[in-house]
Amino acid sequence: MKKFVFAAAAALCLATPVLAADDGGVYVGAGVGSMGVDVGGFSGDDVGYKVFGGWMFNPYIGAELEYLDGGTAEDRGVEIDVSGFNASLRGAYPISEQFSVFAKVGMLFWDADVSSSGISGSDDGEDFSWGLGLGFDFSDNLGVTLEYQGFEVEDTDTVDMISAGLAWKF
């Protein structure tokens, strides 16, 4: 079932801009920000980045696939590295020709490596993701985003990312 969900989401994203466009279209981009992980007594964050691409079917509905690398969150000698692919459906509302707001819901397919005092382990999984953001278009092709994403990773208190991105629409 998990493979089917991932394949369907990937196909949707490939068959399917970050910012509001006249008629929608394909886009690619990259972002940088802070990714935080809180679990039990651990609370850490690090600089994270993402690369993304998608297709807005029209100015209001689209799909996006992104690769996220959350860096290495550290707290009291424990390090957690989180990375993964996030497949999302994206809803946007153009406020004006240049400004839009958007929301995303999807699935994060993640890997995590944990290390402390020479002991290490890893885990992976698929969990619900969501995001809210603002977009601003400088031109028909170039825009920026500011986004908050939450990842409902099982057995954690909070996994989230706030980022600024640059997008190119074709």
Question: Which tens digit of pLDDT belongs to each residue from 48-79?
Answer: 999 999 999 999 999 999 999 999 999 999 99
- pLDDT digits 0-9 by tens, 87-145: 999 999 999 999 999 999 999 999 999 999 889 999 999 999 999 999 999 999 999 99
Q: Which CATH number fits domain 2-169: 2.40.160.20, 3.40.50.720, 3.30.70.520, 2.60.40.3500?
A: 2.40.160.20
- pLDDT digits 0-9 by tens, 11-47: 444 443 343 345 679 999 999 999 999 998 899 999 9
Residues near 120 by Cβ (< 8 Å), separated by ≥ 6?
113, 114
Residue ranges per structural domain of the chain: 2-169
Q: How far apart are CA 103 and CA 84, in angstroms?
A: 20
Residue type (1 letter), 152: E
Nearest Cα residue to 137 out of 166, 102, 162, 163: 166
pTM exceeds 0.85, yes or no: no
Helical residues (DSSP H) of the chain, grouped into ranges: 2-15
Residue type (1 letter), 35: M
